[in-house]
Amino acid sequence: MNEATLYRRTVSLLSICFTLAVGCGAITNDYSSERLPGPKEVYDPRMTVGTSAQALLRQDLFRKVVVELQSVEGFEPTQEAINQLQRFLEKHLGRNPGQIEIHASGPIRASKADEPVTYTIDEVRRLERSHRRFHTRKGVIAIYFLFLDGRSADDHGDFQLLGQAHGNTSIVIYENTLREKVAKTPGTDRILSEVTVMTHELGHVLGLVNLNRESGRDHEDREGNSHCANPTCLMHSSTKVLLPRAGTAAPELDAACLDELHRLASDGVTQETDSAPSDPSADRHGR
C-alpha cells in the first residue's frame, strides 16, 4: 500500500466558535473501521490513528512502551508536564513504571525565519521521518511526540490547532501556538495545558473516541469527530478542556472513555503481535 493511500484521509476539524478558538485535529483516514494491524503491520508507523491502541494497552502484546519527545530547539515541554504524562501512561497503559520509558531526543534546529513557521501535516511527517529515533520492535512499542515552533496549516480564522494525533504512534504538538494561547488567555496555565494536550492526543492514539471500531457505548459527541460528549472529559474538544484554568487539576478520562479503553484492552485477540518482523531493518524504517 503506498503512502498516498495510507494517508488518504479526512481531517476532522472540530467545532468552531469564535470564543472557542483552539482545538485538536485528530486525523483519521478511510481505513476500514474493522481493520486492526496484523502481526507485521503493527511495526509500521504509517497506520491510522487508533490502530495500535490494543498493542499499547496490553502488556502481553508489548512488554514495554517507549515514548520519545522531540522538540524544535526552545520549544520543549516543561519537565512537570512530562512528569504528569508519565503518571498518565502508568495509570492507563496497564504496565508498571519500569515498563514505561520517556526519552527526550536531541532538539531539531529552529527555523531562522522571524515569523512562526506554518506546517502542513506532510511536513510534520517529513520531520518525523528524518528525526524519529525509536520505532516499535520486538517487545517494545514506541510513540513519538513532536513539539513545533510554529502553527498548523489547518488553522483558519480564529481557530488554531494545539495538537494532532496523525498516525498510529505519532503526535504533533503546536507548542508555539499553545504558548501564545496561554499567554493571551488570562488564568490559564502552561504546564496544565501541555499535560492536557499531550494526554488528549494520546487518548486518540489509544482509540478514543470510537476510532476504527465502535466502543459499544454512545459517548461520542454529536459532531462525530472522535471526541467525547462529556464537557468535563479529557476527550472533549473545547478550549475549556484543552486550556485548563490555573489551580485546577488536569482533566481526566471520564467513565465512558475508561470503559472504552477497558473494552478494547480486554477484547479477544488471537493475532501474535509480539513477534519481530522477518526483516530486522523493518523496525527502523521510515515512511
Q: Which residues sit at the interface with Zn ion, rule CB under 5 A?
A: 24, 26, 228, 230, 233, 235, 254, 256-257
Minimum distance from residue 110 beta carbon to Zn ion (Å): 27
Minimum distance from residue 126 beta carbon to Zn ion (Å): 23
**Residue closer to Zn ion (CB basis): 77 or 277:** 77
Q: How far apart (Å, rounded) are the C-alpha atoms in residues 162 and 71?
A: 14
Closest among 83, 78, 138, 128 to 108, alpha carbons compared: 128
Torsion angle of C-alpha atoms 165, 82, 104, 175, degrees rounded to 10: 50
**Residue closer to Zn ion (CB basis): 154 or 254:** 254
Minimum distance from residue 258 beta carbon to Zn ion (Å): 8
Q: Quote the distance between the C-alpha of residue 248 and its chain's center.
A: 23
Minimum distance from residue 143 beta carbon to Zn ion (Å): 16
Contact 100, 67 (CB under 8 A): yes
Contact 242, 22 (CB under 8 A): yes
**Residue closer to Zn ion (CB basis): 226 or 273:** 226
**Residue closer to Zn ion (CB basis): 61 or 235:** 235
The torsion angles phi and psi of 119, rounded to 5 degrees, stand at: -110, 125
**Residue closer to Zn ion (CB basis): 54 or 230:** 230
The torsion angles phi and psi of 22, rounded to 5 degrees, stand at: -125, 165
Minimum distance from residue 181 beta carbon to Zn ion (Å): 15
Minimum distance from residue 112 beta carbon to Zn ion (Å): 32
String of DSSP letters for 141-204: EEEEEEE-SSEETT-BTTBEEEEEEEETTEEEE-HHHHHHHHHHSTTB-HHHHHHHHHHHHHHH
**Residue closer to Zn ion (CB basis): 137 or 236:** 236
